[in-house]
Amino acid sequence: MPVKVVATVISDLVTDQRVHKVCTTLQGNGYEVYLIGAKRDHSLPLTQRPYKASRMKLFFQKRIWMYAEFNIRLFFKLLFVRADIFLGNDLDVMPATWLVAKLRNKVIVYDTHEYFLGMPQLYGKPFALKVWTKAERTIFPTLKHIYTICPSFCAMYKRDYGKELLSVRNVPYKNFMPSGIYQEQIDAIYDKIPTGKKILIFQGIGINLERGGEELVLAMQYLPAADYHLLIIGGGEVFDKIIALTKEKQLADKITILPRVPFEVLRLITIKADLGLSLDKPNNINHLYGLPNKIFDYLHSGVPVLVSRLVELERIVDTYKVGMYIDDHDPKYIAAKIEEAFSDKDRIELWKKNTIKVRDELNWEAEGKIVLQVFAQATIELKTKK
């Protein structure tokens, strides 16, 4: 009988590439996977997958009530679902996932996508920070099988809890094969992308506080509409603010804003870009040591990058020579750096060429093997419990 893995995540399943890749890898290697997520008002339709997946429609859309509702309902759902191993994705699903695993004497694997207690969303919210700190300090020391997104987070969690974590970067598959089911949607988006201009792209399902989105919009004031056009794709806490700011500054001729799209669509849009931007501010721990997913989406699409000076981003950009940095978030400065990136045609062509090496060396075909190592160890523990 295959080992049954029940994975939990509060994010939108349609746009969460990491969770989908993990579940697909497990399903393709003999595990029986069931993924449980959340459905919000803005969630996209859930398409067919190689593993079982379902979403719980949430009544509450705001953070504290949303997390409480999800974990309470998830707790009762997990009590009765068939499972051998539970996979919790991020701390916000662990109260229910961890507690049920303990009550049912099941094995638990934890994929922490963030240095959770360092997220800027918790700044200035002492009650929320206290709750999540208590949860992490209760749960984390009991876990045996943990992996995260980058070496910096591994080092930080080892410092905090003395545990050795494995790093699994959220990279795309080396060999991308579009399914063709979204062609009509893709064609409609292509019609919105102007020709004869340098296309900038800024993407992310979590365009939240301190990620540089607002400053990028303001930077477009200083770039000529005849030469540059910005695509913003995704969602998040400041997404509505970005839309409003674009209208306020009358930048509709310079900026196209698109809501969340399936990751296959996102990849086919990204390949149309000339420069990818990742502008997280280095003023909080989670950003300074994190590794934004979008960096690999850009590079695997052959798009060089302009990024903030963050520890893990510097590791990628310096190693592979695929772009340059900003050292300031002043909009006029960002605009000047964008122009500088395009000022040397030979250099930007070299950056594009070097993205091929990133795709060849940093891909899910390699990173997925680490996930399988974690679950091989979890399966060994499972046998001791039977």
**Chain-wide mean pLDDT for the chain?**
94
Going by C-beta distance under 8 Å and a sequence separation of 6 or more, which residues neighbour residue 127?
none
What are the tens digits of pLDDT across the range 138-151?
A: 999 999 999 999 99
64's tokens: 């504290």
CB 98 within 8 A of CB 6: no
pTM of the model: 0.92
**pLDDT, tens only, 310-322:** 999 999 999 999 9
Residue 180 has pLDDT above 90, yes or no: no
Q: How confident is the model at residue 43 (pLDDT cuts 50, 70, 90)?
A: confident
Contact between residue 278 and residue 307 where contact means Cβ atoms under 8 Å apart:
yes
Cα–Cα dist 13/134, whole Å: 27
Contacts of 118 (CB under 8 A, 6+ apart): 284, 285, 286, 289
Count of alpha carbons within 13 Å of 137, Cβ hemisphere only?
8
SS3 41: coil
Domains, the chain, in order of start with CATH, read 4-171+364-381 (3.40.50.2000), 183-361 (3.40.50.2000)
What average pLDDT does the segment 294-308 reach?
97
Strand (E) or helix (H) holding 367: helix 364-385
Spatial contact of 48 and 13, defined as CB atoms under 8 Å apart:
no
- 88 bridge partner residues: 8, 110
Out of 105-114, 118-127, 220-229, 304-313, least confident range? 118-127
